[in-house]
Amino acid sequence: MHETLLKNIASFIELTDEEKEYFLSILRPKKLRKRQYHVQAGDMCRYETYVVKGCLRQYYVDDEGIEHTVSFAIEDWWTSDMYGLITGNPSLTNIEAIEDSELLLIEKNDFDKLVLAVPKFERLFRIKLQRAFVAHQRRIVENMSMPADQRYLNFTEQYPSLEQRLPLKLIASYLGITPESLSRIRRQLVKGK
Amino acid sequence: MHETLLKNIASFIELTDEEKEYFLSILRPKKLRKRQYHVQAGDMCRYETYVVKGCLRQYYVDDEGIEHTVSFAIEDWWTSDMYGLITGNPSLTNIEAIEDSELLLIEKNDFDKLVLAVPKFERLFRIKLQRAFVAHQRRIVENMSMPADQRYLNFTEQYPSLEQRLPLKLIASYLGITPESLSRIRRQLVKGK
DNA sequence: CGTCTATTTGAATGTACTCAAAAGCGGTGG
DNA sequence: CCACCGCTTTTGAGTACATTCAAATAGACG
């Protein structure tokens, strides 16, 4: 059960059978239908989420009602409303299923106990956060330094599987452009070939 | 010695005297003159950096030679080229002193030993990285959803001390706009009052 | 099949950019 | 202490990329 998750973890830290069992015991499964919310802005989000199957999208809705995609999460990725999780405040973002999805949740309380009991998990998440840190910085710099067409090309290179699975509209909202613009960019790229 | 740093740490974790001593023993002081590089793109950056005094700027230079400020670090902040640090590859960014500065460095090797020996430090950095994660997401969303003038206002609210200390040019390169644009934005804001 | 949403296309608009030049400011050396 | 030099900031004019608004087309789903 949950081999992919354990394998993922094993690439960072080595666990005893006992620790594995403990870890697995705090996971709570959850299923979502396409278009269903996992977290809504205003909710208390008190868990980390691991995606077993499917695809989630985290997005922020601005004052004008425009959706800005913060992140996607597909199989073997983690997601959460980190803001809500660490501050205890209501979430600022929505997380919804783009496809029928199967998740594993770790409640904040269980998470806190886990990392205290088994510091290797503290390590695991520290390392994962460092990687996210780098990815975030990269995204920030790319958004500042590159025109939209190049950002789109980077996206398709970096996440080819996402490119396939996602509607244009959502990719546009991740890249920070309008669907119309992305449509035009794609046309130009096809023509250019 | 290094009371501010210890106080900062104490707000996250409690250390024994022995642990404090161990921690302090691995810190390496470094002084920089204004305009001096701390890290240059292409260097191996093998340390975390804590700013005792002064101000650093981390920036990326794109293909067209334009500088994009990734982060600032003033007193009691940490900085590093996280990419170089975790991959072992040469840095992609430059870190330079904007003012005469005093730093404390933790070598990667020492850091790795530290967090293994004292998991509380693993915890400390995990928590700090979570906060950085939230700050990064916020910056990404703001860059996507707000016009430049509002982003500037947010910056002045969020970092009033930085606003005072930094030349316009550097703030512009952090906000992802040209110095000319920021100059015009400031004029508009003064007029608007 | 019909409805609803996503995508494409067009035309007009706007925000921020580039290029160029002037004014302001700070540091350095005579 | 002042004059000069270099860098920063301001201002102007023209431009470009992406946007908005509107409408047509295509696709998905019941």
Contact state of B176 with A133 under an 8 Å Cβ cutoff? no
Please, are residues A49 and A91 in contact by the beta-carbon 8 Å criterion?
no
How many secondary structure helices (H) and strands (E) does chain B include? 9, 8
Tokens of A70: 């913060």
Tokens of A7: 């394998």
Question: Is position A55 within any domain?
Answer: yes
Contact state of A143 with B141 under an 8 Å Cβ cutoff? no
Share of chain A above pLDDT 70, in %: 99
Question: Is position A188 within any domain?
Answer: no
Helix ranges (DSSP H) in B105-147 = 108-117, 119-145
Please, are residues A92 and A83 in contact by the beta-carbon 8 Å criterion?
yes
Question: Is position B139 within any domain?
Answer: no
Which CATH number covers residue B73? 2.60.120.10
Q: C-alpha A44: how far from its chain's center?
A: 18
Query: Chain B within 8 Å of A126 (Cβ-Cβ)?
Result: yes
Q: How far is the CA of B136 from the C1' of C23 (A)?
A: 38
Q: Measure Cα distances from A165 to A150, A160, A176, B44, B109 in Å.
A: 20, 9, 18, 38, 41
- Is residue A192 predicted with pLDDT exceeding 70? no
Q: How far is the CA of B184 from the C1' of D4 (A)?
A: 29
**Would you give per-residue pLDDT tens digits along chain B (193 residues)?**
799 999 999 999 999 999 999 999 999 999 999 999 999 999 998 999 999 999 999 999 999 999 999 999 999 999 999 999 999 999 999 999 999 999 999 999 999 999 999 999 999 999 999 999 999 999 999 999 999 999 999 999 999 999 999 999 999 999 999 999 999 999 999 876 5
Nearest CA in chain B to A80: B134
Contact state of B143 with A141 under an 8 Å Cβ cutoff? no
Question: Is position B157 within any domain?
Answer: no
Note the pLDDT of residue A111.
98
Question: Is position A47 within any domain?
Answer: yes
Sheet holding B101-107, edge to edge: B28-32, B101-107, B47-53, B78-79
Task: Kindly write down the DSSP assignment for every residue of A24-58, as one continuous string.
Answer: HHTEEEEEE-TT-EEE-TTS---EEEEEEESEEEE
Please, are residues A59 and A67 in contact by the beta-carbon 8 Å criterion?
yes
* Number of domains within chain A: 1
Domain region containing B41: 3-118
pLDDT digits 0-9 by tens, A24-56: 999 999 999 999 999 999 999 899 999 999 999
Question: Is position A172 within any domain?
Answer: no
Residue with tokens 């959460």: A80
Query: Chain B within 8 Å of A133 (Cβ-Cβ)?
Result: yes
Nearest to B169 by CA among B63, B79, B98, B102: B98
Three-class DSSP category at B11: coil
CA distance B12 to B18: 17
Note the pLDDT of residue A191.
72
pLDDT digits 0-9 by tens, A51-94: 999 999 999 999 999 999 999 999 999 999 999 999 999 999 99
Question: Is position B135 within any domain?
Answer: no
CA distance B193 to A146: 34
Beta-bridged to residue B94, according to DSSP, are: B59
Question: Is position A8 within any domain?
Answer: yes
Question: What is the value of pTM for the model shown?
Answer: 0.96
| Any strand D atom closer than 7 Å to A183 CB | no
Nearest CA in chain B to A127: B126
Contact state of B131 with A86 under an 8 Å Cβ cutoff? yes
Q: How far is the CA of B145 from the C1' of D21 (A)?
A: 19
Nearest to B45 by CA among A12, A139, A134, A129: A134
CA distance B8 to B76: 8
